[in-house]
Amino acid sequence: MVDQSLLGHWVRRFLMEYAASERNLSPNTCASYRDTLVLALPFVAKCKRAAVDKLRVTDLSPDVVRAFLKHLERDRKCGTATRNQRLASVRALARFIGAHSPEHVEWCAQIRMVPVKKAIAASVTYLEKSEIDALLAAPDRSTKQGERDHALLLFLYNAGARVSEATSLRIGDIDWHSKSVRIIGKGNKERRCPLWAETIGHLKQLAASRQNDAPLFLNRRGEALTRYGVHTLMERYVRRITPSTPSLAAKRISPHVIRQTTATHLLQAGVDINTIRAWLGHVSIDTTSIYAETDLATKKRALATLDRGGTAQKAGGWSKQPALLEFLRAL
């Protein structure tokens, strides 16, 4: 009979049965859970001076979880966002165990009381129009690899896609007639984005006569391009154009910055925030609203509409408005 007090029993069920099967969570979410436990279990075993396969559920105590989070920040140099993401994975495991093992309900409650650390919200990095144009022009389109890289960068900018969405894209996801793309985003949520005629033209060249279930973006070995591959090619092109576009030197550029650039440029073009939310595949409009906070150009246009001229009568302080004071006292 399986000893249900052992942590290993629950870890296997959590990853194999719950996350992948019952919840049908995305591969990225399952990988995040797995990576957290790959780091956490050896740490707990070291703290308890026990073998990993001998750890008990209660060995993963709130104090050990807090020590693990400090270890991530101090020794592994992880940021607050990564620290909180690892904590979320541990909490998910605790919820699963508590839901299936009544004797561990109190332990689950204690784990869930470990607080999330508040982080300073970083400003969103995006590229100006001249910078994104320079990046799109960087690949040598006379070569097969350069044509692929240009098409990929253009697609990322056009669709505002996440890098994982681009690397998992299949030829059949492109609707050549309606000039649109079907994207499967986080949580297996589907959305459709329109594509420019220029984007469609470059993607057709990549697709050639391959089957609809084939990956659209391939590496040199004819396999689906990876997220690491996209990061690498972007770093290469950014280094190439930085001497001629020195403003890039002050920015940390990644594929996600292109997505943020798309959102910001849509906002600058007057597209309403809810449409941008649907375009990017955000669940909550609060996530999309960060672009409104950081778009300096739109703020400058709003400032220009204010009355500067002194034609309006100044209201003065409350003490100079007796009618207002009487109204307030009567409330």
What distance in Å separates the CA atoms of residue 290 and residue 278, rounded to the nearest whole number? 15
Q: Beta partners for 192?
A: 182
Catalytic position from the list 162, 202, 265, 277: 162
The answer to whether 259 is a known catalytic residue is: yes
Catalytic position from the list 112, 141, 192, 256: 256
DSSP string, 74-130: HTS---HHHHHHHHHHHHHHHHHHHHH-GGGHHHHHHHHTSPPPP-PPPPPP---HH
What distance in Å separates the CA atoms of residue 84 and residue 64, rounded to the nearest whole number? 15
Instruction: Return the closest-CA partner of residue 9 out of 67, 85, 96.
Output: 96
Q: Is 246 left (phi over 0), alpha (psi -120 to 50) or beta?
A: alpha
The answer to whether 251 is a known catalytic residue is: no
Catalytic position from the list 182, 186, 191, 227: 186
The answer to whether 228 is a known catalytic residue is: no
The answer to whether 186 is a known catalytic residue is: yes
The answer to whether 150 is a known catalytic residue is: no
The answer to whether 54 is a known catalytic residue is: no
Catalytic position from the list 86, 104, 150, 259: 259
* DSSP type of residue 309: S
SS (H, E, C) 129-182: HHHHHHHHHCCCCCCHHHHHHHHHHHHHHHHCCCHHHHHCCEHHHEECCCCEEE
What distance in Å separates the CA atoms of residue 119 and residue 111, rounded to the nearest whole number? 20
In degrees rounded to 5, what are phi and psi of residue 46?
A: -65, -40
Active site (catalytic) residues: 162, 186, 256, 259, 282, 291
